[in-house]
Chains A and B, each alone.
Chain A
Amino acid sequence: MTDLLPLMAAKYNYWIYTILMMTGLYAMIAKNNLVKKIIGMNIFQTAIILFYVSIAYKTGGTLPIIMEGGHGGGHGAINAADYINPLPHTLMLTAIVVSVATMGVALALAIKVYRQYGTLEEDDINHQIRTQAGQ
């Protein structure tokens, strides 16, 4: 147990993202309200975004906007260790857009469900479906 603490301190980013991700996943599985599920889905996706962004970090690194060198210059003058990794940030821009788009479609579907059943509680909806099938 004595090695666990330094391990946690060095890799705390992974712990945080995992806990967030599992919170979201739990909400998606266990919550009864459809909008709460959508919120869970968003937490879940955000956790993965956090994971990617955290692996891009370099201690002491700054934003990947090159300060020195002009047009065409700067070969060799740029020290890659001074800047954080741009690739995961680019990828996550895509993931953020995807999560916003998914959320939009999910809310649209939730509105349709509400219009049809008059409720967003899954129990009530299932009850309505069962009574309809029983008739």
Chain B
Amino acid sequence: MTHHFPALLIIVPLLSALIVSAMGWINRRWCFPLAVAALSGALAISVGLLTQVMATGPIAYKMAGWSPPIGITYVIDYLNAPILVVILAVALLNLIAAKTWIEKDFSEKIGAYLALYLLFLSGMVGIVSTGDAFNLYVLLEIGSLTGYALIGLGKERAPLSSLNYLFMGTIGASFYLLGIGYIYIATGTLNMADIASMIPQLAESSTLFLALIICMAGLFVKMALFPMHGWLPNAYSNAPSASAGLIAPLTTKVMIYAMVRLGLTVFTPQFTFSRGMLSEAIVWVAVAAIIAGSLLALMQRRLSRMLTYIIVAEVGYMVGGFWLGNEAGVTGATLHIINDAAMTLTLFLAVSAITWKLGSDKFEDLQGLFGKMPFTMMGFVIAALAVIGIPPTCGFFSKWYLITAGINAGQWAFVGALLFSSLTNAVLFFRIFEIAFFEPFATGHGHHDHGPTFSEAPLTMVVPLIVAAISLIALGLYSGDIVTKLIQLAIPAGIA
């Protein structure tokens, strides 16, 4: 059975989504346990795959038994095996943490909600593990469509934000589809490895170069790279708390994975980085994204909105690091996919717990939070330190690689932007610590003169948050291993 793991990884969430959706009409109490069981199973399978890959090298799985160029292949290698584990772990932790939210917000439609949740996940897992360029598009649409629905039932402006997200997402996905069409015109195939094997003969093809630009442009829209980031802050900050913790850590990161996969495995690094002008231009856009994201984050007065702009800046880190085109940059970008998913999850879980207790995440409502919710704030502080990039946490290590890459490439603007962003993040988070640490000042009414009472969020929220926070430190401590045993093996030859 173990050699069927790549297929099972998708089938388990997919089949359980169907069963959960049917259960929603028969017996609603079974939906949640089924979803948790399915995700735990999928997580176990992904861990199994990771150990298999580390022991025996990349695994290829032929869907329907047809060999690569004819049929669809799934490839699990050093690049995507760790990312799969992270995706499933994020989804499981968030699902447990969101239990109370789901029961409160969607009690009647719990079957549909959890089915969409699981379908979203099978889309994300599929994007990461597929070895077929067109199959990636289909899975991209599964992930997006369910994402629009998961966001659309949120607070205030959620339907409008979700509709705007849908417009931008469709433009992005359609451009990707068009790019695949151009690749198909030039090569006649859709299999990633097969395309890569033809690239050397077509190195001068302008069609293929345009295909690269169009595919990347599509993915940039989907990952909300700076000038195209407009949809992200509204969509994520108005999303229901249960969905925000799933979509915010995963969607942008998976799109960045798709970019890395296309750049390294499909177009091969020799071709991707062959036009210096393009790489240079994209790095400059990334620099703009980092600076703009950080500045816009400074202007926000709500915790969740601030975090969404930090995501915009983080996208700039990874895009810039990758397009520097040297080994440290690609390593840093890939490592940061994993780290950033974990950091974003922790932050959003903390915000979800705070919103649960306070009913708001505006800065002025956070006063005295350290006394009131010490465990939640502990998780928040660790995540904040990781985002700023303080050594024992994982954020430091990926940022270190990215800065090294910038120095090696002589791209000082990128180094400067990274340092600037770290500084802004420090300002952002210390401002919140200050508000949350000091007890509310006694007002004229004498209303607030007693200390804050201990009133923590439910255990199902706090435990996943603490687990996520600990994982940030664990990822930091083991980041040397992750880089030498996985990521460096994933980087093909030909990168300086």
Contacts and interface: CB of A to CB of B under 8 A. Distances in A.
Interface of A: 21, 25, 28, 34, 37, 41, 44-45, 48, 51-52, 55, 87-88, 91, 94-95, 98, 101-102, 105-106, 108-110, 112-113, 116-117, 125, 129
B171 A109 contact: no
Q: Is the interface of A mostly helix, strand, loop or mixed?
A: helix
Given A102-B145, A105-B145, A41 B163 contact: no
Q: Is the interface of B mostly helix, strand, loop or mixed?
A: helix
B152 A109 contact: yes
Contacts of A55: 181, 184-185
Contacts of A112: 152, 159
Contacts of A95: 177
16 contacts: A25-B171, A37-B167, A41-B167, A41-B171, A44-B170, A44-B174, A52-B181, A55-B184, A88-B184, A94-B138, A101-B145, A109-B162, A110-B163, A112-B152, A113-B163, A116-B160
A104 to B, nearest CB: 9
A106 B166 contact: yes
How big is chain B's contact interface, by range?
20 to 34
A109 B178 contact: no
Interface of B: 134, 138, 141, 145, 148-149, 152, 157, 159-160, 162-163, 166-167, 170-171, 174, 177-178, 181, 184-185, 190
Contacts of B170: 41, 44-45, 102
Pairs A-B, 6 closest by C-beta atoms: A112-B159, A109-B163, A98-B141, A113-B159, A113-B160, A109-B159
B174 A45 contact: yes
Contacts of A88: 184
B181 A51 contact: yes
B381 to A, nearest CB: 31
Contacts of B141: 98, 101-102
B163 A106 contact: yes
B280 to A, nearest CB: 27
Contacts of A117: 160
A28 B167 contact: yes
A10 to B, nearest CB: 15
Given A48-B174, A55-B185, 12 more contacts: A41-B171, A48-B181, A51-B181, A87-B190, A105-B145, A106-B163, A106-B166, A109-B148, A109-B152, A112-B152, A112-B159, A113-B159
A48 B177 contact: yes
Nearest to B175: A48
A129 B167 contact: no
Nearest to B135: A94
Contacts of A129: 157
A45 to B, nearest CB: 6
A55 B163 CA distance: 32
Contacts of A51: 178, 181
Nearest to A115: B159
B447 to A, nearest CB: 25
Nearest to A55: B185
Nearest to A101: B145
Given A94-B138, A105-B166, A106-B166, A116 B178 contact: no
A94 B180 CA distance: 14
A2 to B, nearest CB: 23
Nearest to A45: B174
Contacts of B174: 44-45, 48
A91 B133 CA distance: 11
A25 B149 CA distance: 23
Nearest to A111: B159
A91 B162 CA distance: 27
A113 to B, nearest CB: 5
Contacts of A45: 170, 174
A44 B171 contact: yes
